[in-house]
Amino acid sequence: MRLSRNVIAAATIAMACQGAVWALGNGGSDAQQKRLESHLRIARDFATNSDYAGKETFRKAITLAEQVNANPASGDKERQQALEALKKASKEYLANRPGEWVRIKNGKMWTDDRGREVQAHGAGFILLNDTYYMIGEDRSDKWRPDVNMYSSKDLKNWKFENKIIANEKTHPELGSTRMIERPKLFFNDSTGQFVVWCHWEARDYSASEAGVFVSDSVAGDYTFHSGGRPLGIKSRDCNIFLDDDGTAYFISTIEENTDLGLFRLSDDYLEPVDYTVLFPGDRREAPAIARKGDRYYMLSSACTGWDPNPANLSYTDTLTKGWSPLHKVGNPIAFDTQAASIIKVEGSKDTTYLYIGDRWQDPNLPESKTIIFPISFTDTDCAFNYVPEFDINFATGEWRPVDLREGMADRSGWKVIESSGEKAGNPVGNIFDGDLTTIWIDEAATPTAEGEDAIQYFVIDAGKPVAYKGFRATPRSDAGSSEGLVRKYRLETSADGKKWATVSEGDWLPYWTYVDTDPESARYFRFSSLGNHSTSLAEFDLIAQ
Ligand code: GAL
């Protein structure tokens, strides 16, 4: 009788336990054993952290793969078969997860399962089964960024996993003469290793190097593998791209921010093998590549430090050549972001591409926000569907817009009874006409008193008391650079239009998102831009209680 392989494996284990000779099998290579162990760790985590239909079957597949791996008689071939069976079982179990709509809201600092601020700027992601692992710069200590990892099934609820690369601990120079920016994460299917590539930099950006760190398990601790200029080339802002055929690339801004370098990596993802210069002289950074069908798309930004600028798109059918001329996409400040990653959400019904960008806040970099919104690629273009909030379903891969008036106070009785002024053709009443393309502009400076900054403001009489719990100030979306953008702001309210109380103020008005206040009621609202510059706004809303 011919025993199935799994039965042989189990039988051999039983024999081994009874003191049978271990020399029965050929043992296979260490590499293959390490690889299967790594996949087993991922599968065990998946089984532990999820509860979908078919869990028992999945657990059995894990047990069988464990037996094959533990069996001294198993060779590479048996382990390969066990691995394939394990992957198939993972996939089948994953297919049983229920579809669920998740609402993603932009604009705030995220908090993790410990109630602490998520610190993962310039983020990189990998998806293991149903879980996204995100790594990014921990800028709690602004100029000593090291690397945190978080996990999430919905890009909304974040669990702190580990500080995977730690100042002083992982590398003696990290935290003093070295820092890490834009860390990105690979899982190498053939070695079973997790590999981080990042910008490995000196405090004054003179090192211009890339760093590589490795770990056998996703959440680390990662160890330093190497650091230096890839193939001897100066390298700064960076990203990675894993092609469908498993070829991995490191892409970075090279030669003092002049060109982009596309470095093809070795099979283990640890070394650059060769490189191609892209966009020579175009001075692009923050590159992020996505693939749709046979076409590659790259988003990138200009080099303006922490200040936003328009994202540009280019596309090609061959990664190393034929990139189309760069053209602008999104709005002139990429909706106040710079690209960090593009996530491809492939579901049972659709595929959605999510843009992940940094809304840098300088000064006060640790407060920089991570922004997510859907983007869609046509043959030659990319639509930036920036929204303060949207719904996504990770099982089906679909997204849907949210009615942005939902939850907002009725504005039908509103009147502006006072304002600092308006530019002809851009009246202040545009802020509640429901049309994002019509805007209020006030270019005049209205000093409050000798030597004080100019204030641009308007006062709304809502006609009757409004029970509010926050507001949303929507900026004009067509302006070049950050023209007219309100950063320093104040919102005051009043019951009678005479006695005012400040309910919200700050140096950094969140861009086109929600600002919470204590829930209160008032009839008069005075919104001021305190930045001593011309001001514009497309819409103003109060969030209803
Ligand atoms: C940006 C870059 C960031 C960081 C910053 C420093 O242009 O994208 O990652 O390096 O400059 O000023």
Domain contains 429: yes
DSSP string, 269-291: SSSEEEEEEESTTS-EEEEEEEE
When pLDDT is averaged across residues 485-509 and rounded to a whole number, the result is: 97
Q: Is any ligand 1 atom within 6 A of the Cβ of residue 305?
A: yes
Indicate if 425 and 298 belong to the same structural domain: no
Q: Looking at residue 531, what is its pLDDT?
A: 84
CA-proximal residue: ligand 1, atom 11 (nearest): 305
Domain contains 407: no
- 36 strand-pairing partners: none
Place of tokens 């982009």: 260
DSSP string, 465-490: EEEEEEEEEEPPSS-STTTT---SEE
The neighbour count for residue 98, using CB atoms within 10 Å, is: 8
430 pLDDT more than 50:
yes
Indicate if 127 and 262 belong to the same structural domain: yes
Q: Looking at residue 520, what is its pLDDT?
A: 98
> Token pair of 346, please?
């492939």
Strands 327-329 and 311-316: antiparallel
Q: Looking at residue 452, what is its pLDDT?
A: 66
Residue 386 DSSP SS3: coil
Domain ends where: 370, 401, 432?
A: 401
Name the residue with higher pLDDT: 500 or 448: 500
Q: Is any ligand 1 atom within 6 A of the Cβ of residue 541?
A: no
Q: Is any ligand 1 atom within 6 A of the Cβ of residue 252?
A: no
51: CB partners within 8 A, 6+ apart: none
Q: Is any ligand 1 atom within 6 A of the Cβ of residue 205?
A: no
Q: How far is it between the farthest Cα atoms of the chain?
A: 100
Indicate if 374 and 500 belong to the same structural domain: no
**Whole-number Å distance between alpha carbons of 283 and 300:** 10
Indicate if 149 and 235 belong to the same structural domain: yes
Q: Looking at residue 11, what is its pLDDT?
A: 41
Angle among Cα 404, 409, 415 to the nearest 5 degrees reads 110
CA of 256 to the centre of ligand 1 (A): 13
When pLDDT is averaged across residues 363-379 and rounded to a whole number, the result is: 97
298 pLDDT more than 90:
yes
Amino acid code (one letter) for 10? A
Closest CA to 318 of 298, 300, 340: 298
Indicate if 394 and 525 belong to the same structural domain: no
Does the global pTM surpass 0.85?
yes
Kindly report, residue by residue over 188-222, the tens digit of the pLDDT. 999 999 999 999 999 999 999 999 999 999 999 99
Indicate if 214 and 123 belong to the same structural domain: yes
The range of the structural domain enclosing residue 59 comes to 5-94
Provide the strand spans (E) within 385-513. 389-393, 398-401, 415-419, 440-442, 456-474, 489-494, 501-506
Q: Looking at residue 482, what is its pLDDT?
A: 80
Q: What is the CATH number of the domain that holds 457?
A: 2.60.120.260
Q: Looking at residue 440, what is its pLDDT?
A: 97
4 pLDDT more than 50:
no
- Among the atoms of ligand 1, which is closest to the Cα of residue 285? 8
20 pLDDT more than 80:
no
When pLDDT is averaged across residues 276-302 and rounded to a whole number, the result is: 98
> Token pair of 538, please?
């497309």
Kindly report, residue by residue over 73-99, the tens digit of the pLDDT. 999 999 999 999 999 999 999 999 999
69 pLDDT more than 50:
yes
Q: Looking at residue 158, what is its pLDDT?
A: 98
CA-proximal residue: ligand 1, atom 10 (nearest): 237
Indicate if 142 and 55 belong to the same structural domain: no
Strands 159-165 and 456-474: unpaired
Q: What percent of the chain has pLDDT over 70?
A: 94
Q: Looking at residue 7, what is its pLDDT?
A: 40
CA of 468 to the centre of ligand 1 (A): 38
Q: Looking at residue 181, what is its pLDDT?
A: 98
* Contact criterion met (CB below 8 Å) for 379 and 295: yes
The neighbour count for residue 208, using CB atoms within 10 Å, is: 20
Question: For 254-264, b where at least 16 C-beta lie within 10 A, e where not — what string?
Answer: bbebbbbbbbb
**Whole-number Å distance between alpha carbons of 189 and 205:** 33
Domain contains 352: yes
Domain ends where: 375, 401, 427?
A: 401
Binned at pLDDT 50, 70 and 90, residue 14 comes out as very low
- Among the atoms of ligand 1, which is closest to the Cα of residue 122? 9
Domain ends where: 401, 430, 452?
A: 401
- What is the residue-averaged pLDDT of the chain? 94
Indicate if 190 and 308 belong to the same structural domain: yes
Indicate if 150 and 270 belong to the same structural domain: yes
Q: Is any ligand 1 atom within 6 A of the Cβ of residue 306?
A: yes
Binned at pLDDT 50, 70 and 90, residue 23 comes out as very low
- Among the atoms of ligand 1, which is closest to the Cα of residue 286? 8
Binned at pLDDT 50, 70 and 90, residue 447 comes out as low
The total of structural domains in the chain comes to 3
CA of 259 to the centre of ligand 1 (A): 15
349 pLDDT more than 60:
yes
**Whole-number Å distance between alpha carbons of 32 and 69:** 9
Q: Looking at residue 445, what is its pLDDT?
A: 65
Closest CA to 304 of 319, 324, 320, 284: 284
**Whole-number Å distance between alpha carbons of 209 and 177:** 13
Indicate if 251 and 149 belong to the same structural domain: yes
Long-range pairs, 350-353, Cβ under 8 A, ≥24: 350/396, 350/397, 350/398, 351/292, 351/397, 352/392, 352/397, 352/398, 352/399, 353/290, 353/292, 353/377
Q: What is the CATH number of the domain that holds 167?
A: 2.115.10.20
Q: Is any ligand 1 atom within 6 A of the Cβ of residue 357?
A: no
Kindly report, residue by residue over 221-278, the tens digit of the pLDDT. 999 999 999 999 999 999 999 999 999 999 999 999 999 999 999 999 999 999 999 9
Indicate if 273 and 349 belong to the same structural domain: yes
Lowest mean pLDDT among 145-154, 396-405, 478-487: 478-487
